Amino acid sequence: MTVPENLSYTAEHEWVAIDGGVASVGITDYAQQALGDVVYVSVPAPGTAVTAGEPFGEVESTKSVSDLYSPVDGEVIEANPEIDDDPGLVNTDPYGSGWLLRIRVADDAEPAGLLTPEEYTALTKEAE
Amino acid sequence: MTTPDAAKPRSTPLRAVHEQLGASMTEFAGWLMPLRYRSETAEHQAVRSSAGLFDLSHMGEIVVAGPGAAAALDYALVGQPSSMTPGRARYTMICAADGGVLDDLIVYRLGDAEFLVVANAANTAVVDSALRERADGHDARITDQTDDYALIAIQGPAAAAILGPLTDIALDGVKYYTSHRGTVAGREILLARTGYTGEDGFELFSQPGDAEHIWLALSAAGAMAGLVPAGLAARDTLRLEAGMPLYGNELGPDTTPFDAGLGRVVKLDKPGDFVGRDALAAAAQAPPRRVLVGLRSGTRRVPRHGYPVLWDGQPCGTVTSGAPSPTLGVPIAMAYVEPEVAAETGAAAETGAPESRLAVDIRGRAEPARMNPLPFYHRIHDRPR
């Protein structure tokens, strides 16, 4: 299981990379391994307002379906156009071509409650 | 009893092999089992196109032996094991007095006075105790020998070609639902042409200490042909496509074999009494309470166990099993629905009329679905009968 050093994480097993007020979001390697083969990802269309901690989509795998939670307050500006045709990208490259959403972080929002790589690694160890 | 410590799952003789292969292990019915090795979709497809290797050592093996074994089983089960000749196997069920299913089983007649009853792992203790109770007064011994057996399945169109060179049994002569004693890779086995995937295939009962040797020999022999190890996740989607029921989903104490469309396993014409006879005779005559149907989702969201089925927006049934189908490329499901709905949608399917009145409530949103005849998948390869 990989946990890149340059990303932030949530307790819901998502990763976040904030750059220039834009948050890129995906699910972690740990999450994709636990889910198994991802067959469908539902995410909101660009323009949709999202709220930190609120569900905004779902990931369907062979054995289960899981909610996706927004890690930040803001507005969706882009959904990964490749995922619809090839949801398996979430499995093969969760931190790269398997990214899910880009969210413009609301001006007055200070992203809170995100986990460092160390904290997230500890969290996954607890779950074992 | 089969679960001495609920907190600590039991391991099969192949646990080290699974861990060596990097399997994701999961607890299932009190056992630590491989859920998947890599991609369960790839494992599923390998079984459809080539072959897959499964560890089924969690299944229960209960031996019923003695001069009264056949009579005891005729009384205990809904089928008629006494009518089987040695070497034959049969799919059957054990029911409660009210007709509810306690488990579905495969019964192998090993000799005139010896039967092997293979039960689901979660039900082994229940089946063992019911058989003991029901054999009372018969000259038959019931022994739960689950710990004495490993069970390996090789399933798929290439199974016979991979297994053939490793066994002294002439597989061409092995009919579906028969068993033979022989060797595989030099180790003694009971070989049966049975399975739970919708493909041709074999199940190999061996001594636990021989399981690893047999598994590795089959893996090596099949590697070039595309054989891969396959876990419980693939096993579930394979059986779902094949329209085969799973205890706890399509079958349970509140369902009769007739509910599940499997009334043929109930031998009401066999001589003598058997547990559940009165209730099952009544169920055979009564109009069905509900009908097990196949559904194909109209969206990419997956109908799953327990989701309500809707007809004109009103609940009319419940999904029992659902998953994305690797073969069909869409989500599929089995569900119990009201008989009227099954009849209407069945007729609509035949005339090609739209079935927009049928839906599944997927996490609060009604998603369109339509009926699909069971099974979803039927292999085209010939199999010996």
Q: pLDDT at position B352, please? A: 57
pTM listed for this prediction: 0.94
Cβ-contact A76, A102 below 8 angstroms: yes
Total beta-carbon pairs less than 8 A apart between chain A and chain B: 41
Cβ pair B219, B46 in contact under 8 A:
no
When pLDDT is averaged across residues B94-122 and rounded to a whole number, the result is: 98
For range B22-38, the mean pLDDT? 97
Pick the residue from chain B with its C-alpha nearest to A30: B24
B300: chain A residues, CB-CB within 8 Å? 39-40, 60
User: Mutate which of B44, B239, B301 to test chain A, going by most A C-beta atoms within 10 A?
Assistant: B301
- Is residue B271 within 8 A of residue B353, CB to CB? The reply is no
Judged by a CB distance cut-off of 8 A, whether residue A58 touches chain B is yes
Looking at residue A112, what is its pLDDT?
77
pLDDT tens track for B42-55: 999 999 999 999 99
Q: Maximum Cα–Cα distance for chain A, whole Å?
A: 39
Q: Is the pLDDT of residue B4 over 60?
A: no
Region B93-106 average pLDDT: 98
ipTM for the complex shown = 0.92
pLDDT at B384: 45
How confident is the model over B225-268, as pLDDT tens digits? Answer: 999 999 999 999 999 999 999 999 999 999 999 999 999 999 99
d(CA B358, CA B298): 10
* A59 → chain B, closest CA residue: B301
Question: Residue B276: in which H helix or E strand, if any?
Answer: none
Q: Given a cut of 90, is residue B87 above it in pLDDT?
A: yes
pLDDT at position B343 is 86
- Percent of chain B scoring above 70 in pLDDT: 95
Residue pLDDT, tens place only, B55-82: 999 999 999 999 999 999 999 999 999 9
- Chain segment B117-167, per-residue pLDDT in tens: 999 999 999 999 999 999 999 999 999 999 999 999 999 999 999 999 999
Give pLDDT, residue A127: 73
Pick from A6-15, A108-117, B211-220, B308-317: least confident: A108-117
pLDDT for the residue A93: 98
Strand A14-19 with A8-9, pairing? antiparallel
Residue type, B313: G
Domains (range + CATH), chain B: 10-57+149-241 (3.30.1360.120), 60-147 (3.30.70.1400), 287-381 (2.40.30.110)
Task: Inform me whether the pLDDT recorded for B385 exceeds 60.
Answer: no
pLDDT at B105: 98
Q: Is the model's pLDDT at B84 over the cut of 90?
A: yes
Q: Which has more pLDDT, B383 or B248? A: B248
| Residue type at B289 in one-letter notation | R
Q: Chain B contact for A40, CB < 8 A?
A: yes
B299-330 pLDDT, tens per residue? Answer: 999 999 999 999 999 999 999 999 999 999 99
Whether residues A40 and B363 touch (CB distance < 8 A) is answered with no
Chain A: closest CA distance from residue B233 (Å): 7
pLDDT at B351 over 70: no
pLDDT of residue B154: 98
Q: Is the pLDDT of residue B6 over 70?
A: no
Q: Crossing angle, helix B69-76 and helix B124-134, to 10 degrees?
A: 110
* DSSP tag of B1: -
DSSP A37-92: SEEEEE-PPTT-EE-TTSEEEEEEESS-EEEEE-SSSEEEEEE-TTTTT-TTHHHH
Q: How far apart are CA B270 and CA A116, in angstroms?
A: 69
Q: How many residues does chain A have?
A: 128
A52-92 per-position pLDDT tens digit: 999 999 999 999 999 999 999 999 999 999 999 999 999 99
Between these two residues, A113 and A45, which has the higher pLDDT value? A45
Write the residue in B301, B323, B363 that is nearest to A62 by C-beta. Answer: B323
Residue B283: band (very low, low, confident or very high) from pLDDT cuts 50, 70, 90: very high
- Beta-carbon separation of B301 and A42 below 8 A: yes
The pLDDT assigned to B347 comes to 67
With a cut of 90, say whether residue A37 has pLDDT above it.
Answer: yes
